Amino acid sequence: MKNVSPAAITIPSSLLPSDGRFGCGPSKVRDAQLDALAADGRRLMGTSHRQPPVKSLVGSVRAGLRELFSLPDGWEVVLGNGGSTVFWDVATFGLIEQRSQHLVFGEFSQKFADAVAAAPHLGDPSVVASPPGSHPAAVATPGVDTYCLTHNETSTGVAMSLARPANIGDSLVVVDATSAAGGLAWSPSEVDVYYFAPQKSFASDGGLWIACCSPRAIARIEQISATKRWMPASLDLKIALDNSRADQTYNTPAIATIFLLDQQIRWMLDHGGMSWCTQRTTESANTIYQWATASPYASPFVADAAQRSHVVATIDLDGVAATDVNAALRANGIVDTDGYRKLGRNQLRIGMFPAVEPTDVNALTTCIDYVVERLRN
Ligand SMILES: *Cc1c(COP(=O)(O)O)cnc(C)c1O
């Protein structure tokens, strides 16, 4: 190998994507969203979240998500501060009655299982694990009242199709959809709680959790709340539910995050909703996986094509260091293509959320080929 400094490689501008943000969260925020915030934000930023302007913005987000996901009557969109990580604690207090089961197949699903295992008021969780790069299946288990699934394991690029496990009676199906929501298809009939944060497929900023809740989930929230189980008010799902019904949050939210989220939901709906979004992510995914499969030095990490995520692609490299490729890309304005550090593989990880142009994913593959050719010579 010749000593080419990655940062010294200049990709011809004609090959570059129109936008170089391919991170998996925070992810690309479209210029039009930021322009709208600059143009219209003055009306909202710096004003009370208890007054009609911000409350109607929250109402617009709640109604928009209901429409985007075609939520049946009786479903409610609940939100609070803290992101998906905080929602794990919220669920530990307010959704799991006694014992949960967790499908663990990466860092994020592991963290929720760990949070539950540490909770003194719950039984030891049932954990069904599979090696990174695959996903396990739920196992109906007596005594388990909540089955915890992850729609897209952002750490490994594995997606699972959501189906209510057989023979689980009235147990809840609770899905971490943090990176999937808005980019992968799902059906409310298979799920009771579909929760996420807005900095991934919804092209906004972090700090908020949003949970779409079925009537069965609402009943569970109310039932646990009635038992007077101790829980911190900031993690109390019944308090969050009551505030959400009034288009508010329990404490002050980041208004810009909600504004950018609303912009993205409107953009998705204006273009045709979930079918349009999943068409885009599928097109991007086909581009990247076909390129990697044909490449002499790249290959998809996820062996089973059916489990390859359409929003987060993990691509193994052979014969070239991913750190060098990433450094060369970053020097040319293409950022956050780094693999998940704890996975410890020579890998690129690429966010292909709805905001990312499929043509830019194609341009990215050309740019990767360009830098690898120069790094390997
Ligand atoms: C990003 C992510 C999280 C953590 O989200 P935060 O908002 O940072 O807490 C949890 N689960 C999955 C699947 C994620 O992709």
Residue type, position 146, single letter: T
Question: 179: Cβ below 6 Å to ligand 1?
Answer: yes
Domain ranges of the chain: 6-29+272-376, 40-270
Question: 204: Cβ below 6 Å to ligand 1?
Answer: no
- What is the DSSP secondary structure assignment for residue 133, as one 8-state letter? T
Ligand 1, atom 5, residue with closest C-alpha: 84
pLDDT for the residue numbered 26: 97
6-29+272-376 and 40-270 in the same fold: no
pLDDT for the residue numbered 203: 98
> Is the overall model pTM greater than 0.85, yes or no?
yes
Question: 150: Cβ below 6 Å to ligand 1?
Answer: yes
pLDDT for the residue numbered 240: 98
Residue whose CB lies within 8 A of the most ligand 1 atoms, among 109, 114, 179, for a mutation test: 179
Q: Which of 211, 268, 196, 207 is closest to 33 using CA atoms?
A: 268
pLDDT for the residue numbered 2: 57
pLDDT for the residue numbered 377: 77
N-terminal to C-terminal alpha carbon distance within the chain: 6
pLDDT for the residue numbered 247: 98
CATH class of the domain comprising 40-270: alpha beta
pLDDT for the residue numbered 3: 72
pLDDT for the residue numbered 332: 98
Phi, psi angle pair for 202, to nearest 5°? -95, 10
Ligand 1 center from residue 228 Cα (angstroms): 29
Residue whose CB lies within 8 A of the most ligand 1 atoms, among 24, 178, 336, 341, for a mutation test: 178
Enumerate residue ranges in the chain where pLDDT < 70: 1-2
Residue type, position 74, single letter: G
pLDDT for the residue numbered 29: 98
Question: 201: Cβ below 6 Å to ligand 1?
Answer: no
154 near 112, Cβ under 8 Å?
Answer: no
Fold annotation for 6-29+272-376: Aspartate Aminotransferase, domain 1 (3.90.1150)
For residue 154, the ligand 1 atom closest to its alpha carbon is 15
Question: 106: Cβ below 6 Å to ligand 1?
Answer: no
pLDDT for the residue numbered 215: 98
Which residues are CB-neighbours of 118 under 8 A, at least 6 positions away? none
C-beta atoms surrounding 190 within 10 Å: 15
Residue whose CB lies within 8 A of the most ligand 1 atoms, among 89, 108, 311, for a mutation test: 108
Between strands 146-150 and 100-104, the pairing is parallel
Ligand 1 center from residue 115 Cα (angstroms): 14
Question: 178: Cβ below 6 Å to ligand 1?
Answer: yes
Ligand 1 center from residue 4 Cα (angstroms): 36
